[in-house]
Amino acid sequence: MTDSPSNRDATEPDCLFCQIASGRLPAKLIWSDDQAVAFLDINPWHRGHSLVIPRRHLGDGAASPQAWHEVAAGLTAVAERMKNHLGASGINYLSNAGAAAGQEVFHFHVHVIPRYDDQPGMARLMSRDPAAAQDLDALAASLAD
């Protein structure tokens, strides 16, 4: 899909993240504006691991400066809440573009990953923590304002 203004509002009926953005599928929403939505990742690497996505469908952000503008407010708002409400002391931003890069859901998304002092460093970025997947309702509530 290209980035022309004519398809800025396009959604794909079968796309998982289009369905989350439109409310047709449930997710632990933590932030939204008219252009983007943020929600908890279902399989978190660290407590509070979230995704920020544009409301419109776009496969990835590699060729679209506009798409990054659409998610920018969410990227900063969510990171601030992770620091203020979860005690995160660092943030990783990650966006996989293309299957070779590990992308599995082909609707542009940016991982916002809060990092804590007890598991520092890049080598620990993708270490799955079962505790991070617990109490997602409470976690979403604490990140939602």
Contact window for Zn ion (CB under 5 A) among 9-17, 27-35, 71-79, 92-100:
9-17
Using CA atoms, how far apart are residues 67 and 90, in angstroms rounded to an integer?
A: 24
Strand ranges inside 27-126, DSSP E:
29-32, 36-40, 50-54, 90-94, 110-115
- Rounded to the nearest angstrom, the gap between the alpha carbon of residue 15 and the centroid of all alpha carbons in its chain is 15
Nearer to ligand 5GP, 8 or 111 (CB): 111
User: Active site residue: 57, 85, 109, 111, which one?
Assistant: 109
Instruction: Answer with the entry of Zn ion, ligand 5GP, none that 27 interacts with (C-beta below 5 to 8 A by kind).
Output: ligand 5GP
- Which tokens in the block code for residue 107? 């609707």
The number of residues in the chain equals 145
Residues 7-46 as x/- pattern, contact with ligand 5GP by CB under 6 A: ---------x----------x-----------xxxxx---
Residues annotated as part of the active site: 109
